Amino acid sequence: MGIGNIIFLILLLTISGIFTVQVRKIRRNILLGRDIERNDRKGERLSVMTRVALGQSKMVKRRLAGIMHIFIYAGFVIINIEVLEIMIDGIFGTHRIFAFLGPLYNVLIASFEILAALVLIACIVFLIRRYSKQIARFRMRELKGWPRSDAYYILWIEVTLMTAFLTMNGADYALQQSGEPGYVQAGAFPISGMFSGFFSQFSVGTLIAIERTAWWYHIVGILLFLIYIPMSKHFHIFLSFPNVYYSNLNKLGKFTNMDKVTAEVKLMMDPSADPYAVPAEGEPVETPEKFGARDVQDLTWKNLMDAYSCTECGRCSDSCPASLTGKLLSPRKIMMDTRDRLEEVGRNIDKHGIGHDDGKALLGDYILEEELWACTTCNACVDACPVNIDPLSIIVDLRRYLVMEESKSPSELNGMYTNIENNGAPWAFPQADRLKWADEM
């Protein structure tokens, strides 16, 4: 094992350790949320995951973006087989260790090259779309600063990594053709081989330098990218499958009931019940339950997984009638704010321990009441999301807190609440007058 292999092994172990720590923190942050049962209907969940996450069924509803995303998605998954070979070569000092596969190896390398070219094309198309600023959802107010830069960084990183991969193969192919020892003739190179004339003008020493430089750039770039991903919206690469698996399988528009509220309503409707009954001696006194959510810990773990799974593509906001009519609400911002607040809570835990109160909350400091009340609960955002994220459930829980804990709601709703309390219906007519409309019929 040479000095280069030792350096590579140290780098691999160091970056793997950093990535593991990052993932463990994200997992801890997600589990700060309330528990919710999502282990039922396993067959249906697997079917949804296969169709939506693996099959990209919701991505291709927008044809160009969907096809380009499939190129990047397939390239990321399949080219990682080549990364496995590169890592083994880097640790043990071998070169193209899978070359013994013969014709199969040729097919694999050829497919990797074609995918790398498709990834390059897709990234260039996406960069043109973003730089042209013709797409409204890429110009919304929440996509400023880091969120905007993050999208550009990831695309340029992909461009440079795929360029390095094809450059490495092109120089390798030229070295194979020259019969250079150590560069066994293996693999098919339909893309980089097109540039054999360009590479053939260099000396053997220069070709080796180009091949090694591209090799190191490609693999070190991938390893550093591994550290970058948990800090970026692109962590959805890892979370999209479990997030879709744990989707809400109920019909859109079906709201969750709170058991405590249901029990209170039944108590009100039971003429024999005593609402003022005091617990008998020895019976436990119930702790008052918090209604709705004020901060991220009041949301469910699935809500928090949704926040980390958000790709910030903006399809939710692009489909939201409130957002399209100029109101303050943007479902994408709801998810981004939830993730930002959750990250802040996680940093507080790292610094001060669990239970630290920084005097801030998701509601008020990140998401404003005006945003919440602009929502029509139409579920357009939920239907549009490519990975089945549910911004509406967060909005509803925050509104539930405002109404049931702080008695704060728009004046239009206060009149309805009064009518329900006094008349048993949202209309301003007493129950005795409900059938008067039929008197003359």
What is the band of 439 on the pLDDT scale with cuts at 50, 70, 90?
confident
Looking at the structure, do residues 220 and 337 belong to the same domain, yes or no?
no
288 three-state secondary structure: coil
> 112: closest CA among 191, 216, 197, 173?
191
Of 133-142, 300-309, 315-324, the range with the lowest mean pLDDT is: 133-142
pLDDT tens digit sequence for 317-344: 999 999 999 899 999 999 999 999 999 9
> Is 45 a member of any domain?
no
β-pair partners for 227: none
Looking at the structure, do residues 263 and 241 belong to the same domain, yes or no?
no
pLDDT tens digit sequence for 22-47: 999 999 999 999 999 898 889 999 99
Looking at the structure, do residues 310 and 230 belong to the same domain, yes or no?
no
Looking at the structure, do residues 301 and 196 belong to the same domain, yes or no?
no
Looking at the structure, do residues 12 and 152 belong to the same domain, yes or no?
yes
pLDDT tens digit sequence for 367-412: 999 999 999 999 999 999 999 999 999 999 999 999 988 888 888 8
> Is 39 a member of any domain?
no
> Is 41 a member of any domain?
no
pLDDT of residue 70: 86
CATH for 343: 1.10.1060
Domain boundary among 210, 245, 280: 245
Query: What are the CA-CA distances from residue 221 to residues 40, 96, 110 (Å)?
Result: 40, 19, 22
Q: Rounded to an integer, what distance in angstroms lies between the CA atom of residue 373 and that of residue 328? A: 10
Q: What tokens does 187 get?
A: 């693999």
Of 76-80, 93-97, 228-232, the range with the lowest mean pLDDT is: 76-80
More confident residue, 308 or 269: 308
> Is 250 a member of any domain?
no
What is the number of domains present in the chain?
A: 2
> Is 43 a member of any domain?
no
- Segment 218-241 shows an average pLDDT of 90
Looking at the structure, do residues 226 and 311 belong to the same domain, yes or no?
no
Q: Give the other-Cβ count within 10 Å of 357's Cβ.
A: 9
β-pair partners for 363: 367
Cβ pair 265, 234 in contact under 8 A: no
Residue 304 has pLDDT above 90, yes or no: yes
Q: Whats the size of the chain, residue-wise?
A: 441
- Segment 288-299 shows an average pLDDT of 87
> 400: closest CA among 250, 283, 238, 289?
289
Looking at the structure, do residues 68 and 123 belong to the same domain, yes or no?
yes
pLDDT of residue 317: 93
Looking at the structure, do residues 241 and 319 belong to the same domain, yes or no?
no
Residue 287 has pLDDT above 70, yes or no: no
Residue 271 has pLDDT above 80, yes or no: no
Residue 295 has pLDDT above 90, yes or no: yes
> Is 231 a member of any domain?
yes
Looking at the structure, do residues 220 and 264 belong to the same domain, yes or no?
no
Residue 283 has pLDDT above 70, yes or no: no
pLDDT of residue 286: 64
Cβ pair 235, 229 in contact under 8 A: yes
Cβ pair 296, 342 in contact under 8 A: yes
pTM summary value: 0.85
More confident residue, 186 or 80: 186
Looking at the structure, do residues 228 and 263 belong to the same domain, yes or no?
no
> Is 281 a member of any domain?
no
Residue 416 has pLDDT above 90, yes or no: no
Looking at the structure, do residues 109 and 190 belong to the same domain, yes or no?
yes
> Is 283 a member of any domain?
no
Cβ pair 29, 346 in contact under 8 A: yes
Query: What are the CA-CA distances from residue 250 to residues 44, 302, 379 (Å)?
Result: 11, 15, 13
Q: Give the containing element (helix H, strand E) for 305.
A: helix 301-309
pLDDT of residue 44: 93
Cβ pair 169, 187 in contact under 8 A: yes
pLDDT tens digit sequence for 201-229: 888 999 999 999 999 999 999 899 989 99
Cβ pair 106, 187 in contact under 8 A: yes
pLDDT tens digit sequence for 137-185: 888 888 888 888 888 898 999 999 999 999 999 999 889 888 888 888 8
pLDDT of residue 253: 80
What is the band of 284 on the pLDDT scale with cuts at 50, 70, 90?
low
pLDDT of residue 356: 85
Looking at the structure, do residues 213 and 333 belong to the same domain, yes or no?
no
- Segment 116-123 shows an average pLDDT of 91
pLDDT of residue 285: 59
- Structural domain span for residue 332: 259-268+291-427
Residue 313 has pLDDT above 70, yes or no: yes
Please state, rounded to an integer, the average pLDDT across all residues of the chain: 88
Domain boundary among 182, 214, 245: 245
- Segment 99-123 shows an average pLDDT of 90
- Segment 336-355 shows an average pLDDT of 93
pLDDT above 90 coverage of the chain, percent: 43
